[in-house]
Structure 1
Amino acid sequence: MRVIITGAAGFLGRRLVHALVEKGAIVGPSGRAEPITELVLTDIGPVSPPTVPEGCTVSAIQGDLSDPAILAKVTEHPFDSVFHLASQLTFHAEADPDAAWAVNVAPLQALIAAAKGCPRIVFASSIAVFGGTLPTEVADDLAPLPMTTYGTHKAVNELILADASRHGRIDGRSLRLPIVLIRPGVAQPVVSDKVAAIAREPLEGRDFAAPLSAQTEVPVTSAGSVVAGLIALHDADPSRLPPKRALNLPALTITVAEMASSAARAGATGRVTIQPDADMQAVVDGWPSHFTSRYAAGLGIASDANFDAVIADYLAHRDL
């Protein structure tokens, strides 16, 4: 099995690479689990190849997927599976939509064009495909109405994958992710990281002023649940996929106060205070507080049991 992972040096990419090496095998064209014999890891940043068992090789390709030469190198040889995580995020996509298209959409089109033998392509989509006035609970079948360029590109990719699958060129699957916690490192000026910081900063011994009211509900998941969900979706029998081949990763709904309490139980030494920011509160209030799926459980995809589990996942893997 030759497996490509884009965005392999990122927060989720590193976790996925580690999980696949540990697992050693995924479902192949035969419909049975087959050993992973080659990992192709690509990212715009430096990629650190992991240690792999005998019988498996690793190649690392550093470069921008909007560069045709990099894409040609990634797709030079036939592949059996792709986990497509690479993406330009909201801030940059809003500033330059055309450049974002070259990163967010064109590489997927190139992967499909290079496909031979109907490989499986698993795409990390996003809650951002939904927008407008949302119900409290957003399930798989709600019509996408993205309100950002980033969300639009995710929705476009879902349709591209579904159409290419209908033509039998690939076997595509999309998993829409809620807010993924807890990204390591220092605080970043994006809303999702401000949410992550409510737990991360106290756990790292730093005080943090939460920009949201204590009872604000947020749909979250751990990186570990995302990785497990991506692999489970890859291995699922095609006959069990939803008609659109896209589904939500069920989220854990948690309040800001509960996040802070969970961090304290885990031994956090930093303090969390509440200093609501009206603009940030408005953004988060526009998110669905419950992100659900009627297909996920049947495919072995689940939310975290509680926020203590999210924190435990972070503490166990923050140095990965």
Structure 2
Amino acid sequence: MRVLITGAGGFLGRRLTRELMSREGIVGPSGKVEPITHLTLADLGPVPLPEAPGVEIEVIQGDLADASTLERLCARPYDSLFHLASQLTFHAEQDPDHAWAVNVDPLRALIAAAQGCPRVIFASSIAVFGGDFPAEVADDLAPLPETTYGTHKAVNELILADASRHGRIDGRALRLPIILIRPGVTQPVVSDKVAAIVREPLEGRDFAAPLPPEAVVPVASAGAVVRGFLNLHDLPPDRLPPKRTLNLPALSVTVAHMVAAAARAGATGRVTSAPDPATQAVVAGWPQHFISHHAGPLGIAPDRDFDAIIADYLAHREV
């Protein structure tokens, strides 16, 4: 099996790589589990090499918007592609044209370069939804993005479905809620400001939360995401939902609940409340209850509780 991961240097990409290397293999073109023999890891930044005896590993470092980087990537044949790379909302709003070159053009090029009918797992997002929401946002709600990032994710969902209809790939997309808890320092993106509400006190640092205690956010652990990707990958095509896209069910929690769970886990940093109107406006545009009618029967589930999300972070933060 030849596997390609874009965005492999990110915290989800690193986690996915480690999980793949710990398994005997993944479902291949034969419909049976096959060992991974070649692994291509692509990212803008450095990519740590996993321990993988017997697996040929190649790293391609460069901007996917750069023609030479994309050409190198497309020259590598693959049986399975996990496409995680993207430019997030903060930067996409500042430079939509460059974001398109990162978020949309590479997927189109990788599909055009596909040999046979490889499986393509695409990391979509809750950001495809916008406007007025029902109490629960399920798989079948029509996407109505209100950001450039969300628009690009919605475009890619359509590209995947159309290419699958033509038999060029076997595409599947998983829409992700807010993923917690990204390690490192706080980044200038709203999702990471949410993560910092828990990460900073767990690391012994005080933090002024930009959301009020009663604010509700839909979240999932990195572990739940990776399990979702691999479950979705290994499903036979006849079990996929009609649009080949489903939501990763989220756990809906308040900021107060997050802070209390961090304290139970031994957090020593103090969290104060300093609501930021801009951050609140973005969070108010997210569905509070992110569900899926398809995911459960397919074995794709939300985290048990927020304590499990914290445990997942603590178990993997030093890796």
Shorter-chain TM-score above 0.5: yes
Structure 2 partner of 1:270:
269
3-state SS in 1 of match to 2:22: helix
What is the aligned-residue identity percentage?
A: 71
Alignment of 1:43 onto 2:43: yes
Structure 2 partner of 1:53:
53
Moved more, 91-100 or 156-165: 91-100
Shift of 1:279: 2.7
Structure 1 partner of 2:198:
199
CA RMSD of aligned residues (A): 1.0
Structure 2 partner of 1:212:
211
Amino acid at match of 1:284: V
Shift of 1:282: 2.5
| Distance (whole Å) between structure 2 residues aligned to residue 136 and residue 282 of structure 1 | 18
Moved more, 208-217 or 79-88: 208-217
Q: What whole-Å deviation, never above 9, does each CA across 1:43-90 have from its counterpart, x for those lacking one?
A: 010112211022x11111111112222222222232100000000111
Runs of 4+ residues over 3 Å off in structure 1: none
Structure 2 partner of 1:107:
106
Amino acid at match of 1:25: G
Q: What whole-Å deviation, never above 9, does each CA across 1:11-50 have from its counterpart, x for those lacking one?
A: 1101010110011300001111110111100001011221
Alignment of 1:1-320 (within 5 A): 1-54=1-54, 56-320=55-319
| Distance (whole Å) between structure 2 residues aligned to residue 114 and residue 164 of structure 1 | 12
Shift of 1:186: 1.1
Shift of 1:274: 1.8
Amino acid at match of 1:15: R
Moved more, 61-70 or 167-176: 61-70
3-state SS in 2 of match to 1:39: strand
3-state SS in 2 of match to 1:137: coil
Unaligned 5+ segments in structure 1 are none
Q: What whole-Å deviation, never above 9, does each CA across 1:176-216 have from its counterpart, x for those lacking one?
A: 00000001111122211111111111100011111212111
Normalising by structure 2, report the TM-score. 0.98
Amino acid at match of 1:202: P
| Distance (whole Å) between structure 1 residues aligned to residue 153 and residue 91 of structure 2 | 14
Moved more, 73-82 or 16-25: 73-82
Normalising by structure 1, report the TM-score. 0.98
Contact 2:90/2:188, CA 8 A, preserved across alignment: no
| Distance (whole Å) between structure 1 residues aligned to residue 267 and residue 7 of structure 2 | 31
| Distance (whole Å) between structure 1 residues aligned to residue 278 and residue 99 of structure 2 | 25
Unaligned 5+ segments in structure 2 are none
